[in-house]
Structure 1
Amino acid sequence: MPRHSKNNTASSVFTYHETKSLDYGTKKHRLGRDSFREYNACFLCLQTARDPVACPQGHLACRECMYESILAQKQTIKREQRLLEQKLQTLEEKKEREQEEARQVMLDQFEKTQTSMLGNRKRQQREQKKEDETTDESTNAGIKRKIQDATDEDQLERTAKRLAEEKADKVKSKVTSFWLPTMTPEAEKQYKDEIKPIQTQTMCTAVKKPHPVSLKTLIEVKFQYEDDTKKKCQCPACLKTLSNSLKFSVMRSCGHVICNTCVNMFVKKTKRCYVCEAKIKSKDIIDMSPEGTGFASGSSLAEAKKWDVAFQ
């Protein structure tokens, strides 16, 4: 038996079948050819692309699937925008209520001060002081008023913050369940400047890092087929059959698909498409190389990993 019991699956005493049957540790498995999408398959429905189109980075899809994806994303964006507007409106109303409560508290305190005996004495002293003053206050009236308004606003914000803290302390003293969502730090009040804007651009999700895509930027892909069955495609220049092991590109301006070998030999030198003689720039040549196979390791996702919690 192995020397360490916690590492008992790393020894040769277990057969291949026993090691595979154990749900313990990290398991690696190299993906084979059947695990990758075909070169002419839609990345959304995983079937052979019908009326194929490509995004600006060369990801192939059916026209119908791509339109549905963009439309669904636009509907989601509109829904999120409505929810964001409602949230902003709710936060503004909440902030106004808090300021109104703070203003009422300040008025109550002012009334208590003015109606008290000490308040009346101070008021008489202030009136007497104003009568004795001989300086001209007309020039400084606007400045004093601005300073007084700024002071009132600051005092109002401080009062509102103090009232909110008092309410939070009262709630904490009554509720002992610290795991409630309302008691988490993320549940603190948020204002307009603290809310992040939502993504308003439709994205292509063919890769891990999505990139922007729109109906105007889609490229109509034109494959050349070997026969009328339209099952196999070929390069129009060298007549090689396209497959996952062959790299090819699409021309942005005309949509013709040519293998990269012919692109380097003909298209890049003449600056024209081999099929239709359309003018081609270097930026108009978009690589459409497929994922490749597990043996060729043409993809960064050629290895799959599976792990599980030990002894569960």
Structure 2
Amino acid sequence: MTRHGKNCTAGAVYSYHERKKDTAASGYGTQRVRVGRDAIKDFDCCCLSLQPCRDPVVTPEGFLYEREAIVTFLLQQKNKIARETKAWQRQREQRRREREQQRGEGAAKALRGFLEAETPLGKGETPGNGSGGPSPSGPLPSFWIPSLTPEAAAERLQRPERSVRCPMSGRKLRLSQLVSVHFTPAQPGLSPGQLLAREPSDRYVCALTGDPLGNATPCAVLRPSGAVVTLASVDRLIRKDMRDPLSGAALTDDDIIVLQRGGTGFAGAGVSLEAKKSRPVMQA
């Protein structure tokens, strides 16, 4: 398009290019940004702290956590459940007492009505029956007197769930289900600080074949030994005998835990690569 066409402002049509440019400048409309490689968690990072794991553990669903982070999370959730359970029990006991009190008041009211009906005329006088006396029903609720202001009922609590759930999968999780993970360093002899300072693709290798591990490489954790191997080596070497080559223990399908990984900027790998934020729409 020529410069004259870009500077033309006398057109009768509000073009798509102009609408898109005005939307970005004004902040209205849905904003979409494609996330890059730095916005996706590496395969050896904790799902809670998003930092490389020093003492990693994995759940049966394949989510990797730092042991300290997931244990702290489980303890916090258990304490929260205990507090919510006590509050629910207190409210349930209070509601039970209120129901008993209401039943007692109803029985007393029925007794008073029976006695008033059985009392002969002339022997029982009630104030306010004829000559403009005060009403026996009492004062009406008032919004200006604090003692007579109607109060809103307390929110009814639901019984909390007793089990703690995984923050990523949402399934029930116990501390005994966590499996220790042992990555094989690409270069033995490095300190933990030197190892974490390297690129994620240069930190660890497959425990069987020595292939480098990364987000683009599907991996699995063997439950008996905790070793991390590639899925290619699992299909080619392990599933024939179904034995852990490092510990010699027999394996089942549940003992091969597929490690959840993030995608790169070019492959989805089961994650969303587009950040989307909805804003008020500007009508043309």
TM-score higher than 0.5: yes
- Aligned pair partner of 1:248 in 194, 219, 239: 219
Structure 2 residues without counterparts, runs of 5 or longer: 1-8, 122-136, 144-149, 197-202
Equivalent positions of 1:76-87 (< 5 A) are 76-87=80-91
Give the percent of matched residue pairs that are identical in Structure 1 and Structure 2.
26
Q: 1:91 to 1:24 in 2, by over 3 A?
A: same
Which residue of structure 2 lines up, in the alignment, with residue 198 of structure 1? 160
User: CA, structure 1 residues 40+189, in 2 after alignment: closer, same or farther (shift >3 Å)?
Assistant: closer
Paired residues in the alignment total 241
Cα offset, 1:97, TM superposition:
1.6
Query: What's the RMSD between the two structures over aligned residues?
Result: 2.8
Q: Is the 8 A contact 2:88 2:158 kept in 1?
A: no
Does the 8 Å CA contact 1:246/1:289 hold for their aligned counterparts? no
Which amino acid in the other structure matches residue 221 of structure 2? V
Does the residue aligned with 1:12 lie in a helix, a strand or coil? Answer: helix
Q: Return the letter of the residue paired with 2:175.
A: L
Supply the distance in 1 between the matched residues of 2:25 and 2:232 (Cα, whole angstroms): 46
Aligned match for 1:223, one of 162, 169, 183: 183
The match for 2:63 among 59, 65, 75 is: 59
Structure 1, unaligned stretches of length 5 or more?
Answer: 118-165, 176-180
Distance 1:74 1:55 in 2: 18
Deviations along 1:274-296, one digit per CA (max 9) or x if unpaired, are 32222111121111030111310
Q: What is the rounded CA distance, in whole Å, between the counterparts of 2:273 and 2:20 in structure 1? A: 26
Q: Give the match for residue 286 of structure 1.
A: 257
SS in 2 for 1:269: coil
Within 2, Cα distance between the matches of 1:201 and 1:42? 22
CA distance in 2, matches of 1:51, 1:22: 47
Deviation per residue, 1:147-203 (Å, 9 max, x gap)? xxxxxxxxxxxxxxxxxxx99xx65xx56xxxxx966xxx5996xxxx642111111
- For residue 264 of structure 1, the aligned residue among 232, 235, 251 is 235
Alignment of 1:213 with 2:186, yes or no, is: no
Output the amino acid matched with 2:247.
Answer: C
Q: Tell me the distance in 2 between the aligned counterparts of 1:267 and 1:105.
A: 80
1:37 and 1:203 mapped to 2: Cα distance? 21
1:13 to 9, 14, 18: 18
Q: Residue 128 of structure 2 aligns with which residue?
A: none
Q: Is the 8 A contact 1:223 1:257 kept in 2?
A: yes
State the one-letter code of the partner of 1:225: P
* Secondary structure class of the residue paired with 1:274: coil
Considering fraction of residues, name the structure with more helix.
1
Could you say which residue in structure 1 is the equivalent of 2:131? none
Aligned-pair distance for 1:305?
A: 0.6
Partner amino acid, structure 2, of 1:213: L
Q: Secondary structure at the match of 2:68?
A: helix
Structure 1 234/109 Cα, relative in aligned 2: closer, same or farther at 3 Å?
A: same
Q: State which of 43, 48, 51 in structure 2 corresponds to 1:47.
A: 51
Using the size of structure 2 for normalisation, the TM-score is: 0.76
**Matched residue type, 2:72:** E
CA distance in structure 2 between the aligned counterparts of 1:221 and 1:57, rounded to whole angstroms: 14
* Cα 1:100/1:189, change in 2 over 3 Å: farther
Aligned to 1:34: 38
Distance 1:3 1:278 in 2: 76
Structure 2 CA distance for partners of 1:40 and 1:182, relative to 1, 3 Å: farther
